[in-house]
Amino acid sequence: MTLYLLRRLFGMALVLLAMSFVVYGLIGLMPGDPIDLMVMSNPGMTAADADRLRALHGLDQPLIIRYWRWLTAALSGDFGFSRVYARPTLEIIGPALWQTTKLVSLTLVIGSLLSVLLGVAAAIRPRGKFDTIVSFFSFAGISLPTFWLALILILVFAVRLGWLPASGMGPSDPSSLWDSLRYLVLPVSTLVIANVGGLTRFARSSMIETLRMDFIRTARAKGARSARVVWRHALPNALTSVVTIIGLNFGTLLSGALVTETMFAQRGLGKTIYDAVLGNDFNLALVALLFATFATLLGNLLADLAYAWLDPRVSVT
Amino acid sequence: MPALLSVDGLNVSFPLDSHSLLPGRRRVVHAVQDVRFEIAVGETLALVGESGCGKTTVGRAIAGLGKVPKGIVRLRGEYLSDLPRAQRRAARQAIQMVFQDPFSSLDPRMTVRQILQEPLDINGIGTAQERNARVADLLGQVGLPADALERYPHEFSGGQRQRIAIARALAPNPALIVADEPLSALDVSIQSQTLNLLQKLKRERGLSYLFISHDLASVYHLADRVAVMYLGRLVELADRDTLFASPRHPYTQGLLAAVPRIGQGRRRRTLIEGDLPSPLALPSGCAFHPRCPLAKDICRQKRPEMKPLASSPAQSVACHFAEESAA
Amino acid sequence: MTTATLTRASSSPWRLRWRRFYRNKAALSGLIVLGLLIVFSLLAAPLESFLEIDANNADLLSRFDPPSAQHWLGNDELGRDVLVRLMYGGQVSLAVGFAATLLGAMFGVTVGLLAGYFGGRTDAVLMRLTDGVIALPLLPLLIILAAIDLTKLGFSTDFARSGAASFYRIVLIIALVDWTRIARIVRASTLSVREREFILAARVSGAGTTRILVRNVLPNVIAPIIVACSQVLGSVILFEAVLSFLGFGIVPPTPSWGNMLNNAQELVTTAPALAIYPGLLIFITVVAVNFVGDGLQDAFDPRAN
Ligand SMILES: Nc1ncnc2c1ncn2[C@@H]1O[C@H](COP(=O)(O)OP(=O)(O)OP(=O)(O)O)[C@@H](O)[C@H]1O
Ligand code: SF4
Ligand SMILES: [Mg+2]
């Protein structure tokens, strides 16, 4: 078990290392070299000045050396500065991470409950009327462009009905819980609708599979009432598969969160990356992307552990 | 008779855990160890033994499949491994193979014509016209109608498919065909037809076979000599009549006793007891000792070598008590 | 001789598959809708000349014009014809979808074939790579990739700013991430094909590895490749849409369904229709594609449901 964890963590470190190297290298290809920007804004600077500045910042070194410097600094906790905010990247990423966590965890709780309920109900009579309807809406959910969904929700609930704010994160000193929560309603709804379709399909198919399995048949043959069988025996199995799939698709979820955060002006991790790239703040983008990757890998690992924990037949080795 | 094929010290082992990225010790299965035999021109050698004893592995090694085996494989006196690449490929064409399952050995995406022509195309045999004629001729030789050429394998029955597979093996005009249980996937009624076809081709073309089989009746029908394998090693090798009449290895005796004998009403009772040991943990000494009714202490300590019998030198046996154990 | 008559002259597997697909109502309607969408997109130029308009011509005097006999869906915020731009945008979005899927498929098929055929360490390395890419948060990564300055890769400034460059770039970067699923499916099928004896037979016939991969393995994994591509296409179209929407994909004035929504957020109060049409088309397209993909899956493998 310990060995398994160590191996997984080692693998994660490897992915992060590869990712950071590739993205660090790509930053050199991004528009707006910081020195060029300085030269442009200061007509008094000569080419020689620019070269001196480059040397001063170590920018004339080969990529691998610059990366090595960045890496050793990062490993000692120094992730550099954001160009736009002129503050350490971590100070910006911290609150962003918290905002995204709020969004995503609310989505996960609501989304998985909803999808298990729908999937199980649909699986009881496969190809029945309810199943057909659920299947259709699952497909629709998978096929929705998230940003458009957000747009429609804004149009309906913020613009036309005026029930909810269209964007923003609310006042910094909310007068009540609802005051801060209402800013989350539309973003979370967007994410739930965008994700619940895929999750429901998994819940449904794993439920159908479970209901075919021997121990369920036995339970039924022994006279256990159908509903009892479903809720007591088959449900945990469906839940297991949904939890696993959520973990494995954590990257997709964060991708969806980027769009949603951007649409609703939620300063989360995704929007931070988006804004950083738009503002040529590439160090911030790199560090934020690494955090997003780390979160994704962690999600994968937790999914596997949860799977092993929920399903006694699987043992991690 | 001059040896067409001679095999000496053939060893094949498979690594386990081959997917591991970590370096380190690998366990291996020794599937074939120190196998030695010869096949003369026009001769059929049958290879028999329980499932998993390594028959297929021997056959594939000879046909050049799988990884390069250790040991010497000589074709008409030439070491196959010594030949330059191009020549080795040409030499390899002299050894062809017929597989067990005709439902898996024919590419479902190719027509019969494409299947039969593939070996000719690859080796650049003949002009386009000659290939066409050859393909049609092959079909006739295995008793299939000419209109079969443009059809796909799934349109044929198992027996017909096996005929197509045999025709494909004949295409490059080989001297030796390795037939790995060519009958066992077929209906019983089709088996004897196919056996007769093999017999006919042998007679007409002077073909040699390495005939791998479970079925001792068909071995008796087709083979000139018989080799018996147990857990990766040969344990007995003799001409057919000798082997069937007076097997000397206790394992061979057990095998023969397990089938009702043709022309003999009596069924001997010495069946082989117990399970085949795991090839990962081979028994010490004589690998057969845990199941052998004659096993003594020496059998657990010392491995018996394959030796010709003093009384009948054409019969080789790997048993400490071979000279005494005439059944 | 008994073999003179051939038995089992059954219909080919492809016909059976088509029949199963045809019986699946959702899949068949998906296919029809997809066909109609393609026709709709291709009619852009004919309709433009029929109505005697130029959809690329901004006309600030006719901004937000309501539908009329000449402008069937009205005009957008720059006074351009909405319908014709939707049709041109469809061409671009569908072309990006198919091209990126195809390019990704080439990569995925290569990876899957090699991993499945060679097994062992090759397989382990390639599949770790695949799993690694699958696990990544793709959209943020794509945004960073899309931000690369093409002039720093040696392209001319003119090319870097052109619509063509944005097309090639988005196709390439989406292909960089969409191959993984195809690779896994191809690998799994290759693994099972590899064990079939006709592969060994080809080897005995003297065929080299490349020939076997191309002539024997590939034709036998075509069916799963088609299924995998149809399942990937939907997500590729969504990627294009969202990247173009965020300003990292197809650059205006070339329309794509995604970038036609660029300004939609500000317009949603004043001209909601402009925000609805392109998204609706994306949605319909992806639903149709997903129905087709699901139908193909069922048709090709009736047991897997
Ligand atoms: N590719 C392989 N990888 C690992 N082990 C293998 C491989 N091929 C064969 N073996 C092992 O080698 C041994 C011999 O197998 P082989 O297929 O040659 O037996 P066989 O006598 O042909 O059996 P059967 O009568 O069932 O066909 C078996 O223990 C088998 O598990
Ligand atoms: S050597 Fe011993 S164990 Fe082996 S077969 Fe002969 S008698 Fe039996
Ligand atoms: Mg075998």
Q: Which atom of ligand 2 is nearest to the CA of B287?
A: 4
Whether residues A137 and A65 share a domain: the answer is: no
Q: What percent of chain A has pLDDT over 90?
A: 0
Q: How far apart are CA C250 and CA C253, in angstroms?
A: 9
Tell me if A316 is assigned to some domain.
Answer: no
Judged by a CB distance cut-off of 8 A, whether residue C196 touches chain B is yes
Q: Is the pLDDT of residue B325 over 70?
A: no
Half-sphere exposure of A179 (CA within 13 A, CB side): 7
Residues A316, A5: Cα–Cα separation, whole Å: 9
Q: Is the pLDDT of residue C27 over 80?
A: yes
Residue B316 pairs in a beta bridge with B237, B308
Per-residue pLDDT at B219:
94
Tell me: pLDDT of C135 over 70: yes
DSSP state of C75: B
Chain C within 8 Å of A297 (Cβ-Cβ)? Answer: yes
Round to whole Å and give the CA distance between B238 and B230.
15
Query: Is C210 an interface residue toward B (CB < 8 Å)?
Result: no
Say whether residue B147 is in contact with chain C using an 8 A CB cutoff.
yes
Residue B326 has pLDDT above 70, yes or no: no
Query: Which residue minimizes the CA distance to atom 5 of ligand 2?
Result: B319
Q: Helices (H) and strands (E) in chain C — how many of each?
A: 14, 0
Q: In chain B, helix, strand, coil percent, each to 5?
A: 35, 20, 45
For ligand 2, whether the C-beta of B212 sits within 6 Å is: no
**pLDDT attached to residue A251:** 74
Q: How many angstroms separate the CA of residue A224 from the nearest CA in chain C? A: 27
pLDDT in tens, C247-287: 888 888 888 888 888 877 777 777 777 888 888 999 999 99
Instruction: Report the range of poorest mean pLDDT among A19-23, B268-272, C134-138.
Output: B268-272
The ipTM of this complex is 0.86
Lowest mean pLDDT among A16-20, A117-121, B224-228, C7-11: C7-11
The CA R_g of chain A, rounded to the nearest whole Å, is 24
CA distance B134 to B120: 9
Which has more confidence, A185 or B316? B316
Check whether residue A69 and residue A104 sit in a common domain: no
Average confidence score pLDDT of chain B: 86
CB atoms within 10 A of CB B155: 17
DSSP string, C238-291: HHHHHHHHTTSSSPTTS--TTGGGTTHHHHTTT-HHHHHHHHHHHHHHHHHHHH
Q: Is the pLDDT reported for residue B232 higher than 50?
A: yes
> Could you tell me the pLDDT band of residue C8, with boundaries at 50, 70 and 90?
very low
Contact A31 C135 (CB under 8 A): no
Confidence of residue B170 (pLDDT cuts 50, 70, 90): very high
pLDDT at A87: 80
Query: How would DSSP label each residue in chain A?
Result: -HHHHHHHHHHHHHHHHHHHHHHHHHHTTSS--HHHHHHHH-TT--HHHHHHHHHHTTTTS-HHHHHHHHHHHHHTT---B-TTT-SBHHHHHHHHHHHHHHHHHHHHHHHHHHHHHHHHHHHHSTTSHHHHHHHHHHHHHHHS-HHHHHHHHIIIIIIIS--S-SSS---SS-SSHHHHHHHHHHHHHHHHHHHHHHHHHHHHHHHHHHHHSHHHHHHHHTT--HHHIIIIIIHHHHHHHHHHHHHHTHHHHHHHHHHHHHHTT--SHHHHHHHHHHTT-HHHHHHHHHHHHHHHHHHHHHHHHHHHHH-TT----
Binary contact (A29, C152; C-beta < 8 A): yes
Using pLDDT thresholds of 50, 70 and 90, give the confidence band for residue C293. confident
Contact A52, A58 (CB under 8 A): no
Indicate which ligand has the atom closest to the C-alpha of B325: 2
CA C13 to chain CA centroid, Å, is 26
Global confidence as pTM = 0.84
Q: How many CA atoms lie within 13 A of C89 on its CB side?
A: 33
Q: Which domains does chain B have, with CATH numbers?
A: 3-17+28-245 (3.40.50.300)
A171 and A23, same structural domain? no
Q: What is the pLDDT of residue A181?
A: 72
Percentage of chain B surpassing pLDDT 70? 89
> Domain of A99: which CATH number?
1.10.3720.10
A80: in domain: no
Question: Chain C: nearest CA to B124, how far in angstroms?
Answer: 11
In the predicted structure, residue C304 carries a pLDDT above the cut 70: no
Average pLDDT over residues A13-28: 85
Q: Are C291 and C233 in contact (CB under 8 A)?
A: no
pLDDT category at A121 given cuts 50, 70, 90 is confident
**Is the pLDDT confidence value at A201 over 60?**
yes
Question: What range does the domain containing A66 cover?
Answer: 2-75
Residues A195 and A296 in one domain: yes
Selecting from B89, B143, B160 the residue whose C-beta is nearest the C-beta of C206 gives: B89
Residue A225 lies in a domain: yes
User: Are residues A7 and A133 both part of a single domain?
Assistant: no
* A219 Cβ contact list (under 8 Å, min separation 6): A229, A233
Calculate mean pLDDT across residues A199-210: 83
Q: Supply the pLDDT for residue C7.
A: 40
pLDDT value for A311: 64
How many A from CA of B249 to the centre of ligand 1? 23
Q: Are residues A185 and A297 in the same domain?
A: yes
**What's the pLDDT tens digit per position in B53-111?**
999 999 999 988 877 778 888 888 777 776 666 777 777 889 999 999 998 999 988 99
Locate the chain B residue with the closest alpha carbon to C192.
B104
Residue A89 has pLDDT above 90, yes or no: no
Give residue B298 CA to ligand 2 midpoint distance, Å.
9
Give the CA distances from residue B180 to residues A15, B200, C5, in Å, rounded to whole numbers and listed in that order.
47, 18, 27
Sheet holding B70-75, edge to edge: B28-40, B3-15, B70-75, B78-79
**Distance of alpha carbon B309 from alpha carbon B252, whole angstroms:** 15
- Mean pLDDT is lowest, of A91-105, B99-113, C54-68, for C54-68
Q: Are residues A245 and A169 in the same domain?
A: yes
Domain closes at, from A45, A75, A105: A75
Task: Tell me: do A45 and A98 sit in the same domain.
Answer: no
Instruction: Check residue C6 and give its pLDDT.
Output: 43
Q: What is the pLDDT of residues B134-164, one digit of tens each?
A: 999 999 999 999 889 999 998 899 999 999 9
Domain membership of residue A303 (yes or no) is yes
Per the prediction, chain A carries an average pLDDT of 79
Q: How many CB atoms lie within 10 A of CB A247?
A: 21
Q: For A221-229, what is the mean pLDDT?
A: 67
The answer to whether residue A23 is domain-embedded is yes
Q: What is the mean pLDDT of residues C124-150?
A: 86
pLDDT at C45 over 90: no
What confidence category does residue C4 fall into, taking pLDDT thresholds of 50, 70 and 90? very low
Number of structural domains (chain A) is 2
pLDDT of A250:
77
Q: Where residue A237 falls among pLDDT bands split at 50, 70, 90?
A: confident
A113 within domain boundaries = yes
Distance CA(B315)–CA(B303), nearest Å, equals 19
The answer for B 180-219 residues in CB contact with C (under 8 A) is 193
pLDDT in tens, C215-243: 999 999 988 898 889 889 999 999 999 99
Lowest-confidence range among A184-193, B67-76, B282-291?
B67-76
State residue B269's pLDDT score.
47
Q: Which residues of C touch B185 (CB under 8 A)?
A: none
Residues C82, C264 contacting (CB under 8 angstroms): no
Which pLDDT value is given to residue A27? 78
Encode burial over C269-285: b for 16+ CB neighbours within 10 A, e otherwise.
eebbebbbbbbebbbbb
Confidence band of B194 (pLDDT split at 50, 70, 90): very high
**Domain limit, last residue, from A24, A45, A75:** A75
Does residue A83 lie in a domain region? Answer: no
Q: What is the pLDDT of residues C187-222, one digit of tens each?
A: 999 998 998 899 999 999 888 899 999 999 999 998
Which carries the bigger pLDDT value, residue A214 or residue C204?
C204
Mutate to test the pocket of ligand 2, among B294, B303, B306 (most ligand atoms within 8 A of CB): B294
For residues A93 and A113, what is the distance between their CA atoms, to the nearest angstrom? 30
In this prediction, residue C85 has a pLDDT band, given cuts at 50, 70 and 90, of confident
- Asked if residue A189 and residue A162 are part of one domain, the reply reads yes
Any CB–CB contact under 8 A between A2 and chain C? Answer: no
Q: Give the residue from A42, A75, A108 where a domain finishes.
A: A75
Residues A123, A54: one domain? Answer: no
**Which residues on C lie below 8 Å from B163 (Cβ)?**
3
Q: Which domains occur in chain C, in start order?
A: 15-51+78-299 (1.10.3720.10)
Do A109 and A222 fall into the same domain?
yes
Residue B322 beta carbon below 6 angstroms from any ligand 2 atom: no
Q: Cβ contact (<8 Å) for C291 and A139?
A: yes
Residue A266 in any domain: the answer is yes
Distance CA A194, CA A183 (A): 18
- Average pLDDT of chain C is 84
pLDDT tens per residue across span A25-74: 887 777 766 666 666 666 676 777 777 776 766 666 777 888 888 888 88
Give residues with Cβ within 8 angstroms of B51, minimum separation 6: B214, B276
Phi/psi of residue B316, nearest 5 degrees: -105, 140
Whether the pLDDT of residue B223 is over 90: the answer is yes
For residues A107 and A62, state if they share a domain: no
